[in-house]
Amino acid sequence: MNTVVYTLGELAEQLGATLRGDAAQPVSGLATLQDAGPQQLSFLANAQYRKFLENSRAGAVLLTPKDAEDYSGNALLIDNPYLAYARVSHLFETRPKAASGIHPSAIIDPSAQVDPSASIGAQVVIEADAWIGADVVIGAHSFIGARSCVGAGGRLASRVTLCHDVRIGERVVIQPGAVIGGEGFGFANEKGSWEKIAQLGGVRIGDDVEIGANTTIDRGALSDTIIGNGVKLDNQIMIAHNVQIGENTAVAGCAGISGSTKIGRNCMLAGGVGLVGHIEICDNVFITGMTMVTRSITEPGSYSSGTAMQPAAEWRKSAARIRHLDDMARRLQQVEKRLASVTPRGDAASDA
């Protein structure tokens, strides 16, 4: 593997950062403050890691001007070091570049259209009337169902499944094992037995979306399941049929979103969040980890449920008290009624 090397001056120019120190300092990679070596660039984006700055061996550090006041080493000064780190990380990307063309073992229906610039990996299957755009990369063992479309610049890792009638926008990244367009969980009950409902909709995914490993997005029952532009989905998320997620919303791992739920734009759902079906979440909502959302949210802001971690012995005491809350509430109501029926002393004295 060839090592890419930049000078600190070159990185400063690319990032629009202010250089303080040796412009000729070579940088061949990225690392944390604790682990960085003399030719690596690091960053400080979280105050709890500031304690590692002074003794870091990094060749240079991405810092805000304020954090750089007491640091004597090479630095690139920028208002948002984490964003700068995100951008510079692509300069040191190690993922092999896929070559254009179709692997001999791929199976492609004659009616499918594959752009000549696309890269189709080993044992990929592309069914009838599918469409693959320019510069798309499809990893080994992936499956593209009938009439599905992948827009220009998309990257599907190995073992990605797109079922039939899935439409993927441009520059979409889908990580290994994701399944898009599987049948939604739809059944009608007849005297204790379940009859399956055909899922007649598809899935529509916008531009610049990322879908994590082993995440599933079910097809719609009648209309489509819709994922808006710029949405970022972590690993192992379950998105049920007819869910709609607005632009630039991010969802962390192991979240579960029930059917026909609508989530607005610029929302953030932390890990393990659960949403019941047929509710709406407005724009600009942040839901903290492990929260169970049982009703619509109509006002922007931060929402939580559940209890925070505490020592197990204390938690058991709290849990025991929670079981008695209903009884305590009833007794409190009785006390309040008795108090309300007692004539205040001040009124009694004035009557006398």
Q: Report whether 178 contacts 160 (CB < 8 A).
A: yes
Torsion, Cα of 14, 18, 22, 23 (10° steps): 30
- Give me the catalytic one of 90, 103, 141, 241: 241
Give the residues across from 225 on adjacent strands: 203
Give one DSSP letter per residue of 189-258, joined into a string. EETTEEEEPP----EEE-TT-EE-TT-EEEPPSSS-EEE-TT-EE-TT-EE-TT-EE-TT-EE-TT-EE-
Nearest alpha carbon to residue 11 among 41, 32, 37: 41
241 in active site = yes
Contacting residues for 261 by C-beta, under 8 A, at least 6 apart = 240, 243, 244, 275, 276, 277, 278, 279, 280, 281
Residues with catalytic annotation? 241
